[in-house]
């Protein structure tokens, strides 16, 4: 009766992802730390960021869907909320990380003082094409990061928790060569 009505149902339904079984959280070795963190805050939700840092360190540099669901259950939050927080902050990884994590500052001072060259060098040494990826050897995860607070000594990078300022491409190469 309606010649324009499409006959077939659209077929772009994505396959349903398997349900995630939450990891039991916190694991025994984190229990004391997590309880200490919880005690610092008025609500469980407020403890989400530090607990996620703990979970990430425990998970080998990233928060797996199982850990994410575990944290959500532990803090009485919805898994969707926890996932939203994880994706909001660039310090959290939702994909497996490398053995070392290298951040290159992408804010103005560093950018004007040679950060693009550092970024290119870092990607080249790590063996990946874009930031946020891990090279094939699994050594480095290179990430763009907002201001590292070292504008007066730009350009700055951050390698495994240690900030380095006034970095040259040669200096960066040396630093990276020193990593296993």
Q: Please give the residue ranges that form the binding site for another protein (CB under 8 A).
A: 1-2, 4-6, 10, 12-14, 16-20, 65, 68-69, 78-84, 87-88, 94
CA torsion angle 18 14 134 98 (round to 10): -20
Supply the minimum distance, in Å, between the C-beta of residue 56 and another protein. Answer: 15
- Whole-angstrom CA distances from 124 to 30, 105, 119 are 37, 17, 8
Q: Which residues pair with 140 in a beta bridge?
A: 100
Q: Which is nearer to another protein, 60 or 160 (CB)?
A: 60
Nearest Cα residue to 100 out of 56, 178, 159: 159
Supply the minimum distance, in Å, between the C-beta of residue 8 and another protein. Answer: 12
Supply the minimum distance, in Å, between the C-beta of residue 134 and another protein. Answer: 18
Is residue 102 a contact partner of residue 122, using CB atoms and an 8 Å limit?
Answer: yes
Q: Which is nearer to another protein, 54 or 68 (CB)?
A: 68
Supply the minimum distance, in Å, between the C-beta of residue 84 and another protein. Answer: 4
């Amino acid at each position: 009766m309606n010649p324009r009505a499409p006959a077939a149902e659209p077929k772009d339904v994505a396959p349903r992802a398997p349900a995630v079984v939450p990891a039991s959280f916190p694991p025994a070795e984190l229990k004391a730390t997590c309880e200490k963190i919880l005690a610092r805050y008025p609500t469980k939700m407020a403890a989400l960021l530090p607990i996620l840092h703990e979970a990430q360190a425990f998970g080998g540099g990233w928060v797996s869907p199982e850990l994410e669901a575990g944290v959500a259950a532990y803090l009485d939050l919805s898994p969707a909320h926890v996932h939203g927080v994880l994706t909001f902050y660039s310090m959290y990884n939702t994909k497996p990380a490398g053995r070392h994590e290298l951040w290159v500052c992408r804010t103005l001072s560093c950018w004007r003082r040679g950060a693009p060259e550092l970024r290119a060098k870092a990607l080249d040494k790590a063996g990946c094409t874009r930031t946020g990826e891990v090279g094939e050897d699994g050594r480095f995860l290179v990430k763009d990061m907002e201001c590292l607070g070292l504008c007066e000594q730009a350009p700055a990078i951050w390698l495994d928790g240690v900030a380095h300022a006034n970095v040259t491409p040669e200096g960066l190469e040396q630093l990276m060569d020193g990593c296993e």
